[in-house]
C-alpha cells in the first residue's frame, strides 16, 4: 500500500511535465497562419510559414486563421438602375486574410469578417448599379450593334431597337472592377484583401419579369406568324405552279390522244372503205343487219310499208330456207 501511495505523486508530476512539454510548442501547416496571444493580447509577428514553433505554456495561446482564398456570397438585393428598372442583383466575391493581427483586432473571426463584407460590398454594389444603365450591367464593353437584318428580326418595338443600338461606355467588366477598387479601399483596416467581385446573377423583379416574358412571347408569336405567312405564300406559289404544269401536261396528253385517235379513225375508215368498196352489196347487207340489231327498242313502235327497203333482205329470203 505504501508503494502505491509513493507512485501516485510520481504519476502526477509526470503528467504535469508532459502537459507542460506539450504546451511548449505548436505546429502550423501550409494552409494556416497563426498569431500568439498572451493575456488576451496578440504579441509578436504573425506566423505565416509552416513549421514547429515554441511558446510559453499556460499563459500563451495560439489563434489560427486560413491562409487560403475564402468565399463570400451576398444576399440577392432589389436595386433600381439609373433608368429606374428594378432588378435583383446577386453578388459573389473572393477574399483572404493578409494581416492576421489586424484581422484579430478588428473582426476576430471569419463570421465577423463576412458581416463587414456584407455591409461594404452591398453598399458599393448598390451605388454602382444605381448609377449605371441596365444595358451596361448586362453587356460587355466590346458590344457591337447588330446588323440591320438582326435588328429588324429581334426588335419588336422602336424602344427595343433603341436599346439594341445603344453604345456601351463602361460595360459589365468595368463596373465590377470599379466595385472591387472601391470596396478594396476599406479592407486594409481589417487585415483583408479582396481578390475579386463578380455579379453572379442579374434578373428583373417578378412584376417586371412577367411583362418581359409576355413581350418576349408576343414577339416570338409575331415572328412565327411571319414565318407561317411566308410558308403559306410559298406553298400557294408551289401549288399554283404544280397545277399549271398539270394542266399543261393534261392538255398536251389530251391533244396527243385526240391526234392519235383521229389518225386511227382515219386509218380505220380507209380500211373499212377499201373493204366495203370491193363488194358494195355486202356492205349494204352488213349495214342493214346492224340497223336491225341497233333499232330493236321495246319501248318504240315502228310503222313501215311493206315495200320499204328496210325489209328488203328479209323479203328476199326464200320461205323454208335458213337465214344467211
The helix (H) or strand (E) run that includes residue 264 is: helix 206-277
Structural domain including 160 reads: 70-204
pLDDT 10s per residue in the chain (324 long)?
A: 555 555 566 556 555 555 555 578 888 999 999 999 998 889 988 999 999 998 888 788 999 999 999 999 999 888 988 888 888 899 999 999 999 999 999 999 999 999 999 999 999 999 999 998 888 888 877 666 555 555 555 554 555 555 556 667 788 889 999 999 999 999 999 999 999 999 998 887 776 666 666 667 777 787 788 888 889 889 999 999 999 999 999 999 999 999 899 989 888 888 877 777 777 777 777 777 777 666 666 676 767 666 666 666 666 655 554 444
Could you tell me if 200 and 308 lie in one domain? no
- Cβ neighbors of 212 (< 8 A, separation 6 or more) are 204
Last residue of a domain, which of 145, 170, 204?
A: 204
- Cβ neighbors of 277 (< 8 A, separation 6 or more) are 283
Domain count for the chain = 3
Could you tell me if 47 and 131 lie in one domain? no
Could you tell me if 51 and 76 lie in one domain? no
Residue 140 lies in a domain: yes
Could you tell me if 44 and 116 lie in one domain? no
Could you tell me if 169 and 129 lie in one domain? yes
* E-strand stretches of the chain: 25-28, 32-38, 41-47, 51-54, 60-66, 70-73, 77-80, 86-97, 192-204
Could you tell me if 122 and 160 lie in one domain? yes
Could you tell me if 131 and 178 lie in one domain? yes
φ/ψ of residue 256, rounded to 5:
-65, -40
Could you tell me if 148 and 52 lie in one domain? no
State the alpha helices, DSSP H only, in 25-99: none
Residue 23 lies in a domain: yes
204 vs 149: CA distance, rounded Å: 28
The C-alpha torsion from 119 through 122 and 125 to 129, rounded to 10°, is -130
Could you tell me if 153 and 47 lie in one domain? no
Could you tell me if 77 and 190 lie in one domain? yes
161 vs 223: CA distance, rounded Å: 15
Last residue of a domain, which of 10, 32, 66?
A: 66
**What CATH number corresponds to the domain at position 197?**
3.30.479.30
Could you tell me if 165 and 98 lie in one domain? yes
Q: Tell me the three cell numbers of residue 303.
A: 310503222
Last residue of a domain, which of 204, 221, 244?
A: 204
Amino acid at each position: 500500500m505504501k508503494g502505491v501511495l509513493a507512485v501516485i505523486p510520481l504519476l502526477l508530476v509526470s503528467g504535469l511535465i508532459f502537459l507542460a512539454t506539450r504546451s511548449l510548442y505548436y505546429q502550423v501547416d501550409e494552409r494556416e497562419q497563426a498569431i500568439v496571444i498572451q493575456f488576451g493580447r496578440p504579441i509578436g509577428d504573425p506566423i505565416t510559414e509552416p513549421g514547429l514553433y515554441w511558446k510559453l505554456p499556460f499563459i500563451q495561446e495560439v489563434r489560427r486563421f486560413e491562409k487560403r482564398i475564402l468565399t463570400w456570397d451576398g444576399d440577392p438585393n432589389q436595386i433600381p438602375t439609373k433608368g429606374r428598372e428594378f432588378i435583383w442583383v446577386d453578388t459573389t466575391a473572393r477574399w483572404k486574410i493578409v494581416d492576421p493581427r489586424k484581422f484579430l483586432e478588428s473582426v476576430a473571426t471569419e463570421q465577423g469578417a463576412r458581416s463587414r463584407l456584407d455591409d461594404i460590398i452591398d453598399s458599393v454594389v448598390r451605388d454602382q448599379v444605381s448609377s449605371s444603365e441596365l444595358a451596361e450591367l448586362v453587356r460587355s464593353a466590346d458590344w457591337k450593334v447588330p446588323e440591320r437584318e438582326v435588328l429588324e428580326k429581334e426588335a419588336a418595338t422602336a424602344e427595343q431597337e433603341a436599346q439594341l443600338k445603344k453604345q456601351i461606355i463602361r460595360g459589365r467588366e468595368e463596373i465590377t472592377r470599379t466595385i472591387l477598387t472601391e470596396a478594396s479601399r476599406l479592407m486594409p483596416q481589417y487585415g483583408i484583401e479582396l481578390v475579386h467581385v463578380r455579379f453572379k446573377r442579374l434578373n428583373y423583379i417578378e412584376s417586371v419579369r412577367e411583362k418581359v416574358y409576355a413581350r418576349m412571347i408576343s414577339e416570338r408569336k409575331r415572328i412565327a406568324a411571319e414565318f407561317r405567312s411566308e410558308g403559306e405564300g410559298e406553298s400557294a406559289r408551289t401549288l399554283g405552279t404544280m397545277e399549271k404544269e398539270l394542266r399543261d401536261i393534261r392538255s398536251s396528253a389530251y391533244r396527243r390522244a385526240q391526234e392519235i385517235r383521229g389518225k386511227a379513225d382515219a386509218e380505220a375508215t380507209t380500211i373499212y372503205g377499201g373493204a366495203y368498196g370491193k363488194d358494195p352489196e355486202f356492205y349494204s347487207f352488213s349495214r342493214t343487219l346492224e340497223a336491225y340489231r341497233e333499232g330493236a327498242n321495246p319501248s318504240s313502235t315502228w310503222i313501215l310499208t311493206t315495200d320499204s327497203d328496210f325489209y328488203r333482205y328479209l323479203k328476199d329470203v326464200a320461205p323454208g330456207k335458213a337465214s344467211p
